[in-house]
């Protein structure tokens, strides 16, 4: 039982969904968890500490400035001695406080003081959930590593209102918590360092123009996140992309290939390198310091190109070569021959080959169909989400490292 013996700090904030938290306490206890409840002042308008205490079977914490409670455990101990913190319901107000680091009551103080995993089950009116302020706060919290379950869509407590904002059912919260614990126990890459490159590079022509490509960074970012989830200490070197930084990785933002190479080399030594970036093969030999003017009658300027450093190959042949080096081969023709050649030429252990012909929609899209090329042969992976490709690759890397 994943929750057996776990101490769960349950923060109940002020929303009508608080009544479901009573059932949540029962469900958690049924699974062998110890539940330590913290209630906000708002929560006590909906359900009583008496009911919460009767179900949890222990003390209910409500006050930050309670001499009795502070002597007994203290808010810092409350924050640290739990195996996980669950916020149910998580109100717009409490999430706004968390996103801004406010600590003006026991619940918000515990949340600021904790280093434990936090799972939030939001509950609010759909208009509040979709408000730009809430959207910003949720994005900030997700970036800070807070996990969310729900909200769900459906009827609201307010008559005639429907939309997304209902707290999910207690059993869904329990399942999300179990998933969080089994993920936390599953860290085969703990203690390993990884470097991932992602996105395109921009090679300047002059101060306003550049050479670029259609890479979105989705696959590279997903791989960085997947390696981090398995416990690796990940440095993600990204070219200019419009997607958010993944959580739990060290970001280095660069523009040009030469900057990307420098960032990768300074992140060595590492156990794993996954070079996913669509690095421009060429840069403009000398980019103009001023914007190049169009002069009537003079015709277009000639751009002379210079070859960019090959980052994958540099890492693959480096004195501090990581144990596992993975490259990508985005091709529109003769995929496997090219990938196999790349394996040797670039000093890689794996080449993830994909067909990026425009009709596949892979470049810039969210799905990917890849073939994993190694010295042992070629494996065809089915068409998957880029996140699923990332998870599968991260697992494979972990297995390889365990064997090595």
What is the binding site for ligand C5P (CB under 6 A)? 197, 257, 275-277, 279, 281, 308, 310-312, 327-329, 342
How far apart are CB 314 and ligand C5P at their closest, in Å?
Answer: 8
- Does an H or E element contain 23, and which? helix 18-30
The least distance separating ligand C5P from the CB of residue 377, rounded to whole angstroms, comes to: 19
Tell me the C-alpha distance between 403 and 400, whole Å. Answer: 5
Catalytic residue among 213, 308, 354, 368: 213
> How far, in Å, CA of 18 to CA of 337, rounded?
60
Contact 369, 202 (CB under 8 A): no
The CB-of-277 to ligand C5P minimum distance in angstroms stands at 5
Q: Which of 325, 323, 338 has its CA nearest to residue 371?
A: 338
Q: Is residue 237 a contact partner of residue 277, using CB atoms and an 8 Å limit?
A: yes
Q: Which residues of 373-396 are buried (b: 16+ CB within 10 A; e: fewer)?
A: bbeeeeeebeeeebbbbbbebbeb
CB atoms within 10 A of CB 164: 15
- Of 8 and 273, CB closest to ligand C5P: 273
Whether 213 sits among the annotated catalytic residues: the reply is: yes
Distance CA 23, CA 120 (A): 16
Nearer residue to ligand C5P within complex by CB, 40 or 308: 308
> What's the closest the beta carbon of residue 396 comes to ligand C5P, in angstroms?
16
Burial of 249 (0-12, 13-18, 19+ CB in 10 A): buried
CB 41 within 8 A of CB 105: yes
- Shortest distance in whole angstroms from residue 201 CB to ligand C5P: 8
Nearest to ligand C5P of 14, 327 (CB atom): 327
Rounded Cα distance, 286 and 272, in Å: 34
Nearer to ligand C5P, 20 or 342 (CB): 342
Rounded to 5°, the CA angle 339-228-247 comes to 115
Closest to ligand C5P by CB, 224 vs 329, is: 329
User: What is the smallest separation between the CB atom of 303 and ligand C5P, expressed in angstroms?
Assistant: 18
In the complex with ligand C5P, the residue whose CB is nearer, 176 or 261, is 261
d(CA 320, CA 47): 60
With a CB cutoff of 8 Å and minimum separation 6, the contacts of 185 are: none
What minimum distance in Å lies between the beta carbon of 282 and ligand C5P?
Answer: 9
For residue 331, what are the β-bridge partners?
355
For ligand C5P, the closer CB: 135 or 317: 317
Supply the Cα-derived Rg of the chain in whole angstroms: 26
Find the angle CA(193)-CA(195)-CA(197) to the nearest 5 degrees: 165
Token pair recorded at residue 345 = 């030429």
Q: Which is nearer to ligand C5P, 33 or 351 (CB)?
A: 351
Residue 203 contacts residue 308 (beta carbons within 8 Å) = yes
The least distance separating ligand C5P from the CB of residue 273, rounded to whole angstroms, comes to 9
**Could you tell me the maximum CA-CA distance found in the chain, to the nearest angstrom?**
88
Catalytic residues: 213
């Amino acid at each position: 039982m994943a929750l057996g013996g776990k101490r769960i700090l349950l923060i109940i904030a002020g929303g009508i969904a608080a009544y479901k938290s009573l059932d949540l306490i029962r469900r958690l206890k049924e699974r062998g968890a110890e539940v330590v409840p913290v209630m906000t002042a708002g929560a006590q308008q909906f359900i009583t500490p008496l009911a919460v205490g009767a179900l949890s079977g222990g003390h209910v914490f409500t006050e930050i400035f309670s001499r009795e409670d502070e002597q007994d455990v203290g808010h810092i101990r409350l924050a640290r001695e739990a195996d996980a913190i669950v916020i149910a319901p998580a109100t717009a107000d409490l999430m706004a406080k968390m996103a801004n680091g406010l600590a003006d009551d026991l619940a918000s103080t515990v949340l600021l003081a904790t280093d434990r995993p936090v799972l939030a089950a939001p509950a609010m009116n759909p208009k509040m959930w979709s408000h730009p302020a809430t959207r910003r706060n949720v994005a900030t919290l997700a970036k800070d590593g807070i996990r969310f379950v729900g909200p769900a869509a459906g009827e609201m407590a307010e008559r005639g209102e429907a939309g997304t904002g209902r707290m999910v059912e207690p059993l869904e919260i329990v399942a999300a918590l179990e998933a969080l614990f089994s993920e936390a126990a599953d860290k085969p890459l703990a203690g390993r360092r990884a470097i991932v490159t992602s996105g395109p590079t921009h090679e300047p022509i002059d101060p306003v123009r550049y050479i670029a490509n259609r890479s979105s960074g989705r696959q590279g970012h997903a791989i960085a996140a997947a390696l981090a989830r398995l416990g690796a200490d990940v440095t993600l070197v990204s070219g200019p992309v419009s997607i958010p930084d993944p959580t739990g990785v060290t970001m280095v933002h660069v523009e040009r290939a030469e900057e990307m190479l420098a960032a990768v080399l300074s992140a060595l030594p590492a156990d794993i390198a996954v070079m996913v970036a669509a690095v421009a093969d060429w840069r403009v030999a000398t980019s103009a310091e001023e914007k190049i003017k169009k002069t009537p009658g003079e015709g277009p300027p000639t751009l002379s190109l210079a070859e960019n450093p090959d980052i994958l190959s540099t890492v693959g042949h480096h004195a501090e070569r990581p144990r596992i080096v993975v490259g990508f081969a985005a091709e529109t023709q003769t995929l496997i021959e090219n990938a196999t050649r790349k394996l040797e030429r670039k000093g890689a252990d794996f080449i993830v080959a994909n067909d990026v012909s425009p009709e596949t929609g892979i470049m810039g899209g969210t799905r990917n169909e890849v073939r994993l090329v190694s010295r042992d042969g070629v494996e065809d992976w089915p068409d998957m989400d880029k996140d699923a490709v990332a998870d599968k690759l991260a697992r494979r890397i972990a297995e390889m490292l365990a064997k090595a």
